[in-house]
Structure 1
């Protein structure tokens, strides 16, 4: 993807902003608008965030069992859909901005396709016998993949309620498509490995296996085999990120599995058991993401109130660790963060949802 990003359409009283490179504005991001997700005395937590393909809408799931949709250009919440019966987690737009796919947290472990226009369910996808830990949609088709604590990875198509295929693996916790939609990566925590499959031949053995055990021994020995929260390819296909809950994030060469950098600077955990909670902790989907140009990783600072930015072109320390290039000031914890695929804006969340935009005065 090209490095030039557009800015969200400003209010009519302002002149339109020209598209800018991520490099030019990455240090200037500041919180621009905040949305409270609960009016209760005991605040609820946002558990997932996702932008639609065009970057015009954001969908958020919360542990109050509600789906919220935000209009990015208008900068406001446009819809709130309760899912009290089934619960909701890992809400994801399909390639249609009126359809949202989500996992259930109650009743059963089915996936559900929601039509936002009439607020009714279009289809259920049944088959998992335990909690779904990750959902990934193909960037090139209506296929999607789910991982579950039942030790299965299931391939689906949005248009059919029947599984298109299934893999039996040890703790397949996280899954991601590469940008070409031809490779799927599956992260298995208990085996400290990431398996790469040819999506067209998923029933064949993985064509590559990345062993992260040596890296865990070096960088995260106290959480070996657990606390993985995010699996994501960079848009240029060069890097694969394995995000963790506490110590930092692994940046791997997407072809060879070698360590390119270990991102440090977090101050503890964001307080989320991700991606599935078996404790009193709220759910989460990881607190880090790539910028659209693949050069930067933006993430939470753990239990401190900054947002961190790492520059993958910056020189590493001798042990391949990489410190943040900048800390973006914030007044709250960042437990989730997503970069808009089309516009230069970020969304982060913990108890509230925050929209970030570049502040011209901070550049």
Structure 2
């Protein structure tokens, strides 16, 4: 069994933002991009179908900030990815990927290049230059759609999880994968802030496996069972949990598990205790009555609807009703010793439910360097704290002040 990194080894970078309850409750949309995604094509006369009628608006399915928080990239169902400047609040460029489709865009450590998953043609991961709109490398091997993709926080490594029930570890400098994990179900993946540890969530089994990056070919050093005893108070048998995302807090202490239903969870990242259940939002799974019985969500969940602020003090998340929720997680309980799956987690209600996002907020991310949040669905919104009632002036002063630090 691989040794678990110590607390000092796993501490992330020091917080760069002084976020407070007052700041978080005053976040307002400073800029809304109503044309952040192309509308679906209008049906030609005689070809109109019920499917077209039920298709609805297209959505942004993935967003990512670069390391410095200068730029944001979005990927959408219109098979485009778009770059925005966080400093000027302006759209910079639109690039098309009509042949392959685009999903899960992730900046490398250069803000001129990304890796992204495909939605058409094949299941290849593509390394793309935003500067000259060219593909730099193709990463082939998956036999099913890539549903989870993350870049290492410390080097040129990245990893992917696929519907083919494998996790592949890659390096941007080589086209062949350098590691392969075969799993019993579709995996969701996450790196910790140091890149030393990565986690793999296995749905249908409600397990989260923690691996030492240097010994990924050996057994996980910790296996966590995600079981919520409060669910049996609602229905019996309790409704299954379907995990759509994972992310470690920057201080390495906690693991946030995003789920398709009406709750997200925070776990202790060292021993696996279930600490908190985040409630108050409407899950994005959008299952219809006619959908086949399954715990897997229908189209609607992006896996990016919930995430940390950079200082690990708050969690921000989306909701089917368009609300954007902020949870204060500064006072989580401390648990040690053997994990008891029957102990109820702390049930946290939102500090605030923010209005201003049009339609379901499928993607919610907080900028790593600026007091700025981004939400996306059928439109894209940049949020800034508005203490004076003029978010535009706040934006100018905040961005200028942050850059001068």
Q: TM-score with structure 2 length normalisation?
A: 0.79
Q: Does 1:130 align with 2:139?
A: no
Q: Which residue of structure 2 aligns with residue 38 of structure 1?
A: 37
Q: Corresponding residue for 1:330?
A: 356
Conserved 8 A contact 1:193-1:210: yes
Stretch deviating more after TM superposition (302-311 or 84-93): 302-311
Deviation at 1:50, TM superposition (A): 0.3
- Contact map agreement 1:346 1:355 (CA 8 A) in 2: yes
Once residues 120 and 225 of structure 1 are traced to their aligned partners in structure 2, the CA distance between those partners, rounded to angstroms, is 40
Shift of 1:173: 2.2
Deviations 1:315-347 (A, max 9, x none): 78x752111111122242311101101111011
Q: 1:325 to 1:198 in 2, by over 3 A?
A: same
Structure 2 residue matching 1:90: 3-state secondary structure:
strand
Q: What does residue 222 of structure 2 align with?
A: 208
- Equivalent pair of 1:138/1:177 in contact (CA under 8 Å): yes
Cα distance in 1 for partners of 2:369, 2:62 equals 19
Distance verdict in 2 for CA 1:342–1:283, change over 3 Å? same
Cα 1:268/1:283, change in 2 over 3 Å: closer
* In the alignment, structure 1 residue 259 sits paired with structure 2 residue 259: no
- 2:9 corresponds to which residue? none
Q: Which residue of 2 aligns with 1:299?
A: 317
1:190, distance to aligned residue in structure 2 (A): 1.4
Name the CA distance, whole Å, in 2 between partners of 1:200 and 1:69.
34
Deviations 1:41-72 (A, max 9, x none): 66320000000001000010001110111111
Q: State yes or no: 1:147 paired with 2:147.
A: no
What are the within-5 Å matches in structure 2 for residues 41-120 of structure 1? 43-120=57-134
Larger radius of gyration: 2
- The alpha-carbon deviation at position 24 of structure 1 amounts to 4.8
CA distance in 2, matches of 1:88, 1:346: 23
Deviations 1:52-109 (A, max 9, x none): 0010000100011101111111111111110010011101000010001000111110
The answer to whether residue 249 in structure 2 is matched with residue 234 in structure 1 is: yes
Aligned residues: 343
Contact 2:37 / 2:76 at 8 angstroms: preserved in 1? no
Counterpart pick for 1:313 among 330, 341, 345? 330
Higher strand share: 1
Query: Unaligned regions of 5+ residues in structure 1, if any?
Result: 6-19
Q: Secondary structure at the match of 2:388?
A: helix
Alpha-carbon spacing, 1:2–1:272, altered in 2? closer, same or farther (3 Å): farther
1:2 counterpart (14, 17, 21)? 14
Shift of residue 23, structure 1, vs aligned partner = 4.6
Q: Distance in 1 between matches of 2:38 and 2:326?
A: 32
Distance 1:235 1:191 in 2: 27
CA offsets 1:115-152 (integer angstroms, 9 cap, x no match)? 01110100000000001110011101100000111111
Aligned to 1:347: 374
**In 2: Cα distance, 1:215 partner to 1:133 partner:** 28
- In structure 1, C-alpha distance between the alignment counterparts of 2:205 and 2:125, rounded to whole Å: 26
Q: Find the counterpart in structure 1 of residue 190 from structure 2.
A: 176
How many Å separate the matches in 2 of 1:55 and 1:108?
31
Any conservation in 2 of the 1:288–1:336 contact (CA below 8 Å)? Answer: yes
CA distance in 2, matches of 1:315, 1:128: 39
Q: Displacement of 1:281 after TM fit?
A: 2.5
Partner of 2:178, secondary structure, is strand
Structure 2 gaps, min length 5:
1-12, 41-55, 289-295, 334-343, 395-405
Cα offset, 1:279, TM superposition: 8.6
Is residue 191 from structure 1 mapped to residue 205 from structure 2 by the alignment?
yes
Matched residues in 2 for 1:119 and 1:107: separation? 19
What is the CA deviation profile of residues 282-338 of structure 1, one whole-angstrom value per residue up to 9, with x for unaligned ones? Answer: 5612311111110110111x222321111113478x752111111122242311101
The Cα shift of 1:219 comes to 8.0
Q: TM-score, normalised by structure 1?
A: 0.88
Deviation at 1:159, TM superposition (A): 1.0
Per-residue deviation, residues 160-206 of structure 1 (Å, max 9, x unmatched) = 11111111112242100011110000000111000000000000000
RMSD of aligned Cα (Å): 2.4
- For the residue of structure 1 that corresponds to 2:214, the secondary structure is helix
SS of 1:155's equivalent in the other structure is: strand
